[in-house]
Amino acid sequence: MKDVVSRCPIEEVMRVLSGRWPTLLLYYLKDGTKRFSDLKRDNPTVSARMLSLELRKLEDAGIVRRTAHGGYPLRVEYDLTASGLTLVPLIDGLGGWWDQTAADRSGVRIRDAA
């Protein structure tokens, strides 16, 4: 990862959550434990390598927990840690904000619509 250029905590958050996949992974994991194949199915355009890298990044940040179950084939599951669960309201809030501003994005001013 790139070096930090400021002391702003938002920069640290963005280092972990920026990009296409991290917040999507949190969105799908908020409903509970998922296997790697489930996450791949939820995000069909992500490569297995990228999915693995992003999950590892979230795991290193303490947001996602990886649990490997012995046996053959090896079964690996992912879920949100307690810290990761605190991000769920933020992810939901971003989605809600996007839905609320749909009219604005489509060119309809909120005051005109009321």
| Residue 94 identity | L
Q: What is the pLDDT of residues 39-81, one digit of tens each?
A: 999 999 999 999 999 999 999 999 999 999 988 888 899 999 9
* Residue closest to 33 by CA, chosen among 84, 90, 79, 95: 79
Report angle CA 24, 26, 30 to the nearest 5 degrees: 125
pTM over 0.75: yes
- Residue 14: count of CB within 10 angstroms of its CB: 11
Q: 90 lies in a domain?
A: yes
Q: What does the alpha-carbon distance between residue 95 and residue 26 come to, in Å, rounded to a whole number?
A: 12
* Residue closest to 43 by CA, chosen among 65, 64, 21: 21
- Total of domains in the chain: 1
Q: What is the pLDDT of residues 75-99, one digit of tens each?
A: 899 999 999 999 999 999 988 888 8
Q: 73 lies in a domain?
A: yes
Q: What is the span of the domain harbouring residue 47?
A: 9-101
